[in-house]
Amino acid sequence: MPGKRYDQRVLVLVEVRGERRDWDEAERGFELRGWPVVDSFARGEGASRGVLSADVPARLYCVEVRFFGARNRRTEQAAVWQVQRLARAAKLEMYARRSDPMDRDREQLTGWRAHTVAGRPSRVPVPRPVTPTERLRRAGAVARARFSEGRGRRDTGTVVTGTASEARRLSRMTLPGGSAHDADTDVRAQYGRERPHIVMRREEDQHRRTARVMAWTLAMIFCAVVARQHDGVRTWVWSGLAAWCLVRGARLAHGVFAAGGRAGSLLVWGAAAGFLLAVAFGADMGDRRGWTPVQIVSVVAVAATTGGIWLLVRQWTWGEWLAWAAPVAFALVASCVVASGSVMHAMYADSLDVTPDDLDVPAIWQAASALKLLSLLSFILFVPAVWGIAKHVHAPIVSPIERLGVPLYVVTQAVVVVLCGLWALDSAGDAVKDLRAAAAQKADLPSYFGVEPEWMCVEPTVPAAKLSSRGGTLNPERPYVSFGEAGGTVSLWDEPAGKALQMPAEQVRLVPAVDGRVRCAFSYASLPKGD
């Protein structure tokens, strides 16, 4: 394991059978992986006395196994897998005899700021009776002092954490080499007011709870969007599911997002959920308002893919990432952008029996088509993302000792690559189908990444016998689909013939037509006699 980073710590009783050299090899393996050895003893001795017999030459190690991943019901089993992986790599007869989790989750202690109370009026009793005016004046002075303390104007600069009583004692404690504080020092909570009935959650527990709240919130939004798309009984069913997800999210949300208690947490969660729901229902999507269920699933899939890839690569150190992974990734992306600049246009042109050079696509649109291709190929990352999530939750199929996981990964990745390639082909194929359909109906022609086909009347400037056309014979009385001029050649699409028609640009003149239904007013008799 690179470096010393880890997520989980599990105490494992490891038995290593063999001789002294085997035990030394096991200890070197523990040290290389950053697993501290808490204790070691011979089998049948120490803590194993009366538990295991001493008839087998072996030594037991209490090892703190450290590894990445989430804490769940398979965490202890994942520690056993790590030991088995070491045994397989070192070719040792090594067994994990017991695995106990170590709970080292950090408490979220309340933060306090120390302040002086010297500005408050003293409570020294006076020998004479106190008049109501003096009582009112003293109460006003106390209120002003407390208001000033609450605004932080009398802070001493000391910050402490803990319960209210611990914070007060810590603020008055004299540190070695520090300044001394007296009994005139008190504390106030950094955020809001201290409420003894609130039980602060631990840090990792809060992260897990927050993730569950987000999952229920997204499920609620998805069910609400689906209910909006249907009517009748289906609407009520999906609305009921959305309400159920809303209740589950609200029950988990209290005490998570704010330190002020349940009301603050529910307020924060409600505001976030309401904003997301408003966006899902009211976002302007062109011809309709609101998102569709497919779009929501796509957004969740993109987020899950990003998170899965991060879980997969987070085990690398920054040195390793900057040393080879980042340059390789940059070179791969750059080469894909440069090499795929005309791939989409090449597939589009091939379906129309022309070449990409005949289309004369600007460089900016070639880059745009490259990004489109990369977006289609980005689905290839979905498989490693799922692999990263599975490793994080210690799924058995991706365990370090599972031999079926790697072949399954390779086969799945190959299938996804093929599907992504087919999607890229379908993108250009669909554009060509739309163009042909529009040309058959003599309607407006759709564009495709900088390719702007137009209806044109093609007027020859030379007699018919001298017109050099490739792919067919020009009929100047009807309009053609023109892709413009490129390299001295005019490329046309002859919809009735279903093929491309090309001719030199100096032999024809292009006149824009309203659509494909007009009749072009041209006659060879109108050409000059010299031609």
Domain match, 210 and 280 both:
yes
What pLDDT is recorded for position 113? Answer: 84
Domain match, 97 and 117 both:
no
Domain match, 33 and 58 both:
yes
**Of 524, 348, 322, 314, nearest in space to 433 by CA:** 348
CA 512 to mean position of chain CA atoms? 48
**Of 101, 63, 103, nearest in space to 83 by CA:** 63
* Residue 392 and residue 78 in contact, taking contact as beta carbons nearer than 8 Å: no
Give me 373's structure tokens: 């291709």
Beta bridge partners of 455: 481
* Residue 98 and residue 61 in contact, taking contact as beta carbons nearer than 8 Å: no
Q: Most distant CA pair in the chain: distance in Å?
A: 132
Mean pLDDT of 490-501: 77
Asked if residue 444 belongs to a domain, the reply is no
Domain match, 164 and 233 both:
no
Domain match, 360 and 403 both:
yes
Alpha-carbon gap, residue 463 to 460, rounded angstroms: 7
Domain match, 38 and 144 both:
no
Distances from the Cα of 498 to the Cαs of 205, 218, 471, in angstroms? 65, 49, 10
What pLDDT is recorded for position 372? Answer: 66
pLDDT digits (tens, 9 = 90+) for 60-92: 999 999 999 888 889 999 999 999 999 999 999
The yes-or-no verdict on residue 531 having pLDDT over 60 is: no
Alpha-carbon gap, residue 241 to 213, rounded angstroms: 16
Domain match, 332 and 280 both:
no
Alpha-carbon gap, residue 394 to 72, rounded angstroms: 8
Asked if residue 424 belongs to a domain, the reply is yes
Count of residues in the chain: 531
Identify residue 63 by its one-letter amino acid code. Answer: V
The structure's pTM equals 0.66
What pLDDT is recorded for position 478? Answer: 80
Classified as helix, coil or strand, 461 is coil
Query: What is the share, in percent, of the chain residues with pLDDT greater than 70?
Result: 74
Beta bridge partners of 160: 112
**Of 498, 502, 505, 488, nearest in space to 351 by CA:** 498
Give me 93's structure tokens: 């007869």
Domain boundary among 41, 69, 101: 101
Find the CATH number of the domain harbouring 77.
3.30.70.260
Give me 42's structure tokens: 């011979």
* Residue 13 and residue 62 in contact, taking contact as beta carbons nearer than 8 Å: yes
Domain match, 261 and 164 both:
no
Domain boundary among 135, 160, 189: 189
Classified as helix, coil or strand, 510 is strand
Computed over every residue of the chain, the mean pLDDT equals: 77
Asked if residue 413 belongs to a domain, the reply is yes
Per-range mean pLDDT, top range of 171-185, 232-246, 309-323: 232-246
**What secondary structure letter does DSSP report for 448?**
B
Classified as helix, coil or strand, 21 is helix
Classified as helix, coil or strand, 482 is strand
pLDDT digits (tens, 9 = 90+) for 314-346: 876 655 555 556 555 655 665 555 555 566 667
Alpha-carbon gap, residue 13 to 23, rounded angstroms: 14
Write out the H or E segment, with its range, that includes residue 481.
strand 480-486
Mean pLDDT of 407-417: 81
Domain boundary among 43, 74, 101: 101
Tell me which residue has tokens 């060879």.
524
Domain match, 321 and 409 both:
yes
Alpha-carbon gap, residue 483 to 511, rounded angstroms: 13
Q: Where in the sequence is the domain holding 82, given as residue range(s)?
A: 8-101
Q: Enumerate the H helices of 182-290 as residue ranges.
A: 203-229, 233-253, 262-282
**Of 341, 388, 304, 367, nearest in space to 70 by CA:** 388
Asked if residue 300 belongs to a domain, the reply is no
Binning the chain into helix, strand and coil, the percentages to the nearest 5 are 50, 15, 35
CA 161 to mean position of chain CA atoms? 34
Asked if residue 50 belongs to a domain, the reply is yes
CB atoms within 10 A of CB 339: 11
Alpha-carbon gap, residue 78 to 70, rounded angstroms: 10
What's the domain count of the chain? 5
The yes-or-no verdict on residue 195 having pLDDT over 70 is: no
Domain match, 384 and 357 both:
yes
What pLDDT is recorded for position 2? Answer: 44
Domain match, 383 and 358 both:
yes
- Report strand pairing: 37-42 vs 111-116: unpaired
Asked if residue 195 belongs to a domain, the reply is no
Domain match, 211 and 286 both:
yes
The yes-or-no verdict on residue 28 having pLDDT over 60 is: yes
Asked if residue 164 belongs to a domain, the reply is yes
Identify residue 317 by its one-letter amino acid code. Answer: T
* Residue 222 and residue 281 in contact, taking contact as beta carbons nearer than 8 Å: no
What are the DSSP calls for 278-334, one per residue?
HHHHH-B-SSSBS--HHHHHHHHHHHHHHHHHHHHHTTS-HHHIIIIIHHHHHHHHH
What pLDDT is recorded for position 39? Answer: 93
pLDDT confidence tier of residue 121, bands split at 50, 70 and 90 = low
Asked if residue 449 belongs to a domain, the reply is no
